[in-house]
């Protein structure tokens, strides 16, 4: 039975990039193995400084995930900080992680390029991620393309430790002390674009949260950046953010119709944006209704997270016992 694991940071409301790049694939994979999905609040602490916002977004992400179809009986959903073994393993892994490997990671390099002073947590971020993954003997890690490098770092750290302790008790997968994980990235949604055509990201302020209210969501869609072609001019669908986003929701025939209307000219960007909004709004309608029903009982999410924490902890504590023994801490 395959172990599937992934995480999402509670740094704001989940957006279309999070949904198509990670949440939707995670929900599909809950049918195919033992799935562990967590809300990465330790990771979020590298940037979030408002404790109320941290708590609110943590519950919000859980609610969104459940509304989108995560089944808490099939999959384990939990809060990272409820399982302190994550940070214990991160320390052990960091003792085997060459500094240059972390200096080469893109989040750290981007920070330096912007002349910002990174905190140590940002530098060590990929090591904590490796701990998240290795703690559950994960085989498959469904993520967007921006996380691929982090899974590669995980594989390198796990390989180095497996070679250091060849006689250690083996993981159930049998690779050595740790299972070597594989990223799972779905090519056509690996990098969902945002309102300005760059990668959709909370840090670029170009996101469309999946459960925005109607008015702000409409306003965001109408604000998608386009060129200044007049209504009558033919337009190129292959470079359009509107078409790229429409493809996520619309059926093949509707996408072909929009592409043909782009090429023909005579339709303005405003009309295309309305079509996009309608498709988007309809797509999330059933999930929005489910979210409202779940939110009506505030204790429900807390219960789901508490039971997820207990199930996650059982696995994490067994792995930690194996690791402590292997490295001589017991």
| Site of interaction with ligand TYM (CB under 6 A) | 6-9, 17-18, 21-22, 40, 43, 129, 132-133, 141, 143-144, 146-147, 189-192, 199-201
What would the two tokens of residue 227 be? 């060129």
Q: State how far the Cα of 178 lies from the Cα of 171, in Å rounded to an integer.
A: 6
For residue 257, the minimal CB distance to ligand TYM (Å) is: 25
Least Cβ distance, residue 100 to ligand TYM (angstroms): 20
**Site of tokens 């093949």:** 252
Closest CA to 4 of 127, 117, 111, 143: 143
Closest separation in Å from C-beta 94 to ligand TYM = 15
Which residues face 79 on adjacent strands? Answer: 39
Q: Measured from the CB of residue 229, what is the shortest distance to ligand TYM in angstroms?
A: 26
- Minimum Å gap between C-beta 214 and ligand TYM is 23
Q: How far is the CB of 244 from ligand TYM (least distance, A)?
A: 11
E strands, the chain, are: 3-8, 34-39, 75-79, 140-142, 182-184
141 vs 235 by CB, closer to ligand TYM: 141
**C-alpha separations of 135 from 75, 102, 177, 243, 310 in Å:** 16, 20, 11, 40, 15
Give the residue closest to ligand TYM by C-beta: 21
Cα–Cα distance for residue pair 195/269, rounded to 1 Å: 14
Q: Which is nearer to ligand TYM, 179 or 200 (CB)?
A: 200
Structure tokens that stand for 58 in this block:
């943590």
User: What tokens does 329 get?
Assistant: 């801490």
Task: Please report how close the Cβ of residue 21 comes to ligand TYM at its closest, in angstroms.
Answer: 2
CB of residue 308 to ligand TYM, shortest distance in Å: 15
Which residue, 78, 63, 59, 69, is CA-closest to 30?
Answer: 69
Nearer to ligand TYM, 135 or 250 (CB): 135
Cα distance between residue 261 and residue 216, in whole Å = 27
| 4 DSSP β-pair partners | 35, 140
Min dist CB 210 to ligand TYM, Å, is 12
Structure tokens at 35: 């799935």
Asked if residue 321 lies in contact with residue 168, where contact means CB atoms within 8 angstroms, the answer is no
Give the Cβ contact number of residue 218 at 10 Å: 17
Measuring CA to CA, which residue among 127, 141, 175 is closest to residue 322? Answer: 175
């Amino acid at each position: 039975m395959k172990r599937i694991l992934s995480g999402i940071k509670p740094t704001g409301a989940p957006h279309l990039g999070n949904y198509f790049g990670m949440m939707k694939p995670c929900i599909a994979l809950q049918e195919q193995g033992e799935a562990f999905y967590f809300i990465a609040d330790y990771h979020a602490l590298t940037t979030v400084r408002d404790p109320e916002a941290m708590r609110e977004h943590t519950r919000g992400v859980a609610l969104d995930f459940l509304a989108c179809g995560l089944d808490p009986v099939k999959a384990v959903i939990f809060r990272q900080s409820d399982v302190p073994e994550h940070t214990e393993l991160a320390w052990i892994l960091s003792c085997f992680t060459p500094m240059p490997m972390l200096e080469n990671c893109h989040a750290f390099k981007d920070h330096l390029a912007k002349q910002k002073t990174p905190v140590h947590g940002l530098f060590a971020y990929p090591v904590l991620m490796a701990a998240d993954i290795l703690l559950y003997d994960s085989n498959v890690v469904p993520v967007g393309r921006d996380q691929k490098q982090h899974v590669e770092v995980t594989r390198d750290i796990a390989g180095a430790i497996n070679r250091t302790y060849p006689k250690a008790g083996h993981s159930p997968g049998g690779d050595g002390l740790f299972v070597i994980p594989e990223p799972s990235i779905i090519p056509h949604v690996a990098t969902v674009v945002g309102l300005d055509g760059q990668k959709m990201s909370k840090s670029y302020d170009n996101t469309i949260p999946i459960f925005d209210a109607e008015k702000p969501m409409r306003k965001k869609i109408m604000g998608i950046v386009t060129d200044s072609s007049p209504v009558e001019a033919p337009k190129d669908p292959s470079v359009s953010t509107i078409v790229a986003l429409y493809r996520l929701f619309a059926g093949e025939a509707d996408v072909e119709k929009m592409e043909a209307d782009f090429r023909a000219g005579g339709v303005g960007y405003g009309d295309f944006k309305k079509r996009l909004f309608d498709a988007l709004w309809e797509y999330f309608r059933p999930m929005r209704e489910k979210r409202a029903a779940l939110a009506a009982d505030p204790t429900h999410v807390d219960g789901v997270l508490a039971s997820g924490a207990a199930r996650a902890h059982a696995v994490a504590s067994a792995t930690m016992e194996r690791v402590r023994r292997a490295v001589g801490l017991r």
